[in-house]
Amino acid sequence: MRIRTRLRGWKNSPIQIRGRVCDVISIIIPTYNERNNICRVIRKLSKALKGYEHEIIVVDDNSPDGTAEKAREMAKKYPVRVFQRKKRLGLATAIVYGFRKARGEILGVIDADMQHTPELARELVEAVRTNHDLAIASRYVEGGKIVDWPFYRKIISKVAIYIARPFTDLKDPVSGYFFLKKSVIDGVRLEAIGYKILLEILVKGKYGSVVEIPYTFQGRTEGRSKLGLGTLFDYMRLIFRLYLYKMGLAC
């Protein structure tokens, strides 16, 4: 399959399932300057999924801190595949790139910054394998919480969810930690704008049952947050595009 990255003026072709391996779980980790975190998240993910055949797909946007090199070192011991793009193209496009490279029928997405609890991956996988099309690690469902986050970040998160309310009544539709059956996105055209790919999947995907599983979202201990004005602008652009999609005015 030919893989393309999303450039200005170009729209992603629909994701096609080809040569999938039903017993493999594919976890995508998009990275940019996560050298100090990538080894820990890989180790903890592999431990959480012990007994499952799985692959960890690291999609790195040419991090200047050597994140990709660290991930390649981990590939000597763990089931890691590393794809390094030539420049920084964004988190959502990195995830879609990983989807296209994935071999498994169950796909997962987790951040590299250790704010998502890798140990929860097993429960999310089990939810998809047994009963659900999509399992979301949720900060806002009963039992979930956020620790070590400044007040303004909590406000931004709540506002983002409020803005998404016309599309879904899920408690955490902008979570960056989730697993799904690959069939949910088979043939779906994802524009992959900004950071919140889950919301676009929820609007455009083909699924029935969704479950939110509570977890504790941790504050960063290493590295710097990528949140900035550009992130907020991209989110508003995504919302606008999703409104157009719902009205039949966009693909």
225 pLDDT higher than 90: no
218 pLDDT higher than 50: yes
- Look-up: residue for tokens 């994802």? 190
User: How many CB atoms sit inside 10 A of residue 248's CB?
Assistant: 7
196 pLDDT higher than 80: yes
Q: Which residue has the higher pLDDT, 114 or 57?
A: 57
Confidence of residue 7 (pLDDT cuts 50, 70, 90): very low
Residue 148's pLDDT is 85
Section 213-233 average pLDDT: 76
Residue 23, burial from CB neighbour count under 10 angstroms (0-12, 13-18, 19+)? exposed
Residue 6's pLDDT is 34
Residue 248's pLDDT is 85
Question: How confident is the prediction for the chain on average, in pLDDT?
Answer: 89
Confidence of residue 12 (pLDDT cuts 50, 70, 90): low
Q: What is the CA radius of gyration of the chain?
A: 17
Residue 1's pLDDT is 33
Section 203-225 average pLDDT: 86
Q: Is the pTM of this model over 0.75?
A: yes
Q: Which of 81-85, 192-196, 203-207 has the lowest mean pLDDT?
A: 192-196
18 pLDDT higher than 60: no
Residue 3's pLDDT is 32
Please tell me whether residue 207 adopts helix, strand or coil conformation: coil
H-type alpha helices, the chain: 35-48, 67-74, 91-101, 121-130, 151-164, 197-204, 229-246
Domains of the chain: 21-219+226-246 (3.90.550.10)
Confidence of residue 229 (pLDDT cuts 50, 70, 90): confident
136 pLDDT higher than 60: yes
User: How many CB atoms sit inside 10 A of residue 28's CB?
Assistant: 23
